[in-house]
Structure 1
Amino acid sequence: DGTVRAADMETLNRFVPSGFVAAAAWKFWTKSGLSTVGNRVIVSAAIAYAGYYAFERIRWTPARQGQEFRKQFAEHASEKLRHSVEYTASKCSDQVSAELKETFTRLEITARDVTNDLKDEINQLEEKSQHYEGIAEMSKKWKNKFDWLEIELRNYRNDFIPKMPSRPSAQKLDM
């Protein structure tokens, strides 16, 4: 990210002695034979760089190192936490989806069983209804036959059996 870390500075200081860069620059400047304007540009750039380096070196205190460490740790922790949340959310989503599928399957099976039970009951009721309709139809036929037979018996009685005188009642005999 372009920031200088404490570890980077320690590594650089181990391999490059503090006066080596300045001595090398001075030697290069005296031996190069560059023009005066070129020398001034080079010296100005070197001074600007050295000033910036010194400024950064002065600012790189233990408090700043701790601050930078906390910032880097916060970024790292938030990234890991974000990945953890995404992973957990996807697993939770998968689990909810699986449970919903399982529940739907169970409900589907239950609905199918209830539907089959209702169809069986309907078939049984239709069979009973047909049986009762048959009985009702047969009873109508028997009623019609009995009515016809009653009429025939009445006609026979009226035509062939004379009317008998009624018996004297028991009260008349007691007298």
Structure 2
Amino acid sequence: MSEEIRRLSVLVDEFSLPFHPEPLVLNVYKRELHLHVESGLGSNLRARLSTALALNIEASQREMTERMASLLPKDTKQVSLSILPRREPFEILYRLNCDNLCADFQEDLEFRFSWGITSLIQRFCGKNANRICLLNFKEKPGDLPTPTESADSSLMFPASKSTDWSIPSKIALASIGSQGTMGGMLVAGAHTIVYSQMMKTIGWRVIAVTGAIYGLLYLYERLTWTNKAKERAFKEQYVAHATKKLRLIVDLTSANCSHQVQQELSSTFAQLCHLVDGSTSEMDARLKELEKEIKALEKAANEAKVLRNKANYLSKELEMFDDTYLRIKD
């Protein structure tokens, strides 16, 4: 299941329902995507595991049956062997329930310029870039790097000893994380100060060319932010969210599969126990019949013994009568 979760992006890319950022349409899109992911993961897991599990279960069932059959009479043994092979192949059922699992997924389809100041800071410093910059400004304002000390800035702008960059740099970094009006005013003010210093240092032509390139990049990304791009961003966000959620239920799903296997083996064991109980009942009934026959035979033997004694007695009486009255004396 962990391997299938790592391949979740492939499964999501295969979802081809038309995408539209309208909220109502997007809700239907997400619901259908939940069903697609749940069905795809379930079918992939069944394809990879059902055959192997079925073979192992069949081997265990055969071993159980052979061991049990060795204790049964020959006629019952044939009945027990008829339990295998199964009429229907064993198949694990997976209930992932992606609809509830990813119900808290919230997409973010707002356009964000990849070369914007906030995006660049977050790209190089991570998610805590804003907090780090504010802490640096409050705690260690003297340690903030100036553009003349930066390797990247030294490639773009010539260093000037007469230019003091510390104050505008501190203001810009402190206001990067702000998304409100005050943050925007601080950023604008910081940019104004920086641009005035840059105009004196490197000239307006370089700034104009750089600004034009920057504007063209922004225009290009803004024009390419189409429904297709929004769909890609949506799927990337969904894959990240679903991956995190699905990893939480790996152990639970594994336990559920183990329970199904245990139920299958327990069912076979119960059938074998039923055969043994039936065979035991038949043997008990047969023993009772044999006991009755033994008692009848013992009774007949006792009666035969009495009759034999009587016959012996009569035989002796006849011999005495014959000796006394019937034989002619010499």
The structure richer in helix per residue is: 1
Give me the TM-score of the superposition, normalised by structure 2: 0.29
Between Structure 1 and Structure 2, whose CA radius of gyration is higher? 1
Give me the TM-score of the superposition, normalised by structure 1: 0.50
